[in-house]
Amino acid sequence: MREIKFRAWDAEHKKMRGHTDPQTIQAVIFGNDYGGRIEIMQYTGLKDKNGKEIYEGDIASCVYNGNSNIYTVVFDLSELDYKATNGKKNYGENFQYMPCCEEIEIIGNIYENPELL
């Protein structure tokens, strides 16, 4: 069973808030009433090769079919699943379903490490 957790990027304070942080919990329960200053990300239920939890918005180094690439973790509503994508509108062959990757390592996230993309 997938554990339901959230984290949030607090743009005002430039800080990632974890799933136990009261401001994150309030934003999830009552909605984002911070004028767009809080970005909520859900836990995928997966962990990387080092045991680190994988969330939406994470930047991952993924090995698939022996090739290593840098991807962003997103939730695809049309597939109802998490994907690693290079951010192109037309995914083509540039995405992998997260569980199919041979190796996943979280190297940052889109808010604190945009230079990795």
Q: Where are the domains of the chain?
A: 6-112
CA 19 to chain CA mean position, Å? 13
Strands (E), 27-102: 38-47, 53-55, 58-64, 67-76, 81-85, 95-97
Higher pLDDT, 2 or 79: 79
In this predicted structure, what is the pLDDT of residue 88? 64
Higher pLDDT, 107 or 35: 107
**Which amino acid type is present at position 62?**
C
**Would you call 66 helix, strand, or coil by DSSP?**
coil
pLDDT tens by residue, 43-55: 998 899 999 999 9
Per DSSP bridges, beta strands 58-64 and 67-76 are: antiparallel
- Are 16 and 41 spatial neighbours (Cβ–Cβ below 8 Å)? no
